[in-house]
Structure 1
């Protein structure tokens, strides 16, 4: 058993936002249990910091979630868990008319169901710290990584938007349920950031469209290709970095009164403001112009991320 008064579990820590968050928390002095899905990533992460402890975790596997819960109970030996960062996620991009229902289920299973299942498993550890923390300060802390898409649904990201809108709603309900138990719940809403997820999104998007029938594909192909390329370009040229998300998570883990929401990047702020102030039809027009910035011809010839 190690000193776990400042232990945090971060899911989806093998790359992108999760890896940056794990490193940011380790640099802030936390013992970080980094959830990954492969031994290869576990070995690589373990070499990045002496405070990072990789654990194999698959959010679609109930046995894996229970095993991680038992592992953390054994490791903390009654000290409890300081925080949980629900970062793991996947993104399916496709017109909803031709979105395979199995892909929709898989999206919700990781981004929503797995997040709730892991939170249920670890809440007893997060509550355990109430005995050692002054009442005015959150005992345990939950941070859910959402997205600006959780505020404004973009075309061709309906499945991802469904999962993120749901995560926002679950986070609100959970925050209100846990406030009397001094467990805080914060949401991080990043804007466009270039991470490995975007190359996976592009591959999945084109696979879905190419397996749709010609009649359905013909209704969407030009606009969909333009959207995929424009989305990649926005992420690639964004000045927002994974380290910005990591900084927000560290604040949520250390502040006496962590914020309920952290918006990272100007587009995340713009989405939040637009969702609050603009009528639906005006917002539709803004989104349509934004994602029509790249035409179909340019989209088909664009360079893909490496």
Structure 2
């Protein structure tokens, strides 16, 4: 049995933004097909709500995407889907000079090509709802989760920025292609938010630096550590929560006229304004000052530590 408001697919729903979105949509009366990659993830998300249906889905596998689409088609008995939320994503962080090309390919495969693969597969199910849709409302809805990094590319997030800039462009093209078919396309651009994805970023990037030639790694290591401190500080200080992103997705899935973009968090708005108004050199200078401020705070903290302890902590 389905909830009365229809069915929605959410990819990458086992944790973080995807999990919060799946729960919010289930609470709003939708049946949610929660795309997960592991049996443990499926069991955990299924326990959160009776309206959530775990769905085995690896967006980088054409076989997995096809099987998931077939399963949803059978479960809905051909009634179609109300919406798709392309949330699955990873973040590769490291100096571009050091990033293994396989890691770059993986970033694009998950964040960009995976989103397109899911969209291609499920579009027929989104269009099939047109007969039951009130006049003036989209027959189906697509929400692509992007990032403020899709507006302003931060140092050491080049691969991630590449995927998100591309997702922004793909979303614009898709929106214009699907408008005559009564399928809406919205982009949600979160700013800094504390989710499990960021806890893995610094550790993975340090492995990349450790594997690089010493002279290359040493050229970047100090500034990368400043970046890690800046990133963690922003995420911890941010008032934006996964539930805020989930509310934006909910609006895109229920509004008569969904917005083309939802910017969530003051920093996401700031990135959009800066990208539009500031010359590149000015924006570069702003980012460099942020790094310098982090470095100054770190130096002050070291100077405040008694000399014996300082040596112990820097061994």
TM-score (structure 1 length as normaliser): 0.95
SS in 2 for 1:136: coil
Does the 8 A contact of 1:194 with 1:235 survive in 2?
yes
SS in 2 for 1:47: helix
What does 1:83-122 align with in structure 2 at a 5 Å threshold? 83-122=83-122
Superposition deviation, residue 135 in structure 1: 3.3
How many aligned positions are there? 301
For residues 12 and 229 of structure 1, the distance between their equivalents in structure 2, rounded to whole angstroms, comes to 27
Does the 8 A contact of 1:146 with 1:187 survive in 2?
yes
For residues 161 and 62 of structure 2, the distance between their equivalents in structure 1, rounded to whole angstroms, comes to 24
User: What do residues 46-95 of structure 1 show as CA deviations (whole Å, max 9, x unaligned)?
Assistant: 11111011111111111100000100111111211000000010001000
2:207 matched to which residue of 1? 207
Does residue 153 (structure 1) correspond to residue 153 (structure 2)? The answer is yes
For residues 91 and 289 of structure 2, the distance between their equivalents in structure 1, rounded to whole angstroms, comes to 23
1:60 matched to which residue of 2? 60
Does residue 179 (structure 1) correspond to residue 179 (structure 2)? The answer is yes
2:82 matched to which residue of 1? 82
What does 1:266-285 align with in structure 2 at a 5 Å threshold? 266-285=266-285
In structure 1, runs of 5+ residues without a counterpart are 302-306
For residues 72 and 5 of structure 1, the distance between their equivalents in structure 2, rounded to whole angstroms, comes to 16
Superposition deviation, residue 228 in structure 1: 1.4
User: What do residues 202-229 of structure 1 show as CA deviations (whole Å, max 9, x unaligned)?
Assistant: 1111111111101101111100111012
1:144 matched to which residue of 2? 144
SS in 1 for 2:294: coil
For residues 223 and 81 of structure 2, the distance between their equivalents in structure 1, rounded to whole angstroms, comes to 46
SS in 1 for 2:164: helix
RMSD: 1.6
TM-score (structure 2 length as normaliser): 0.93
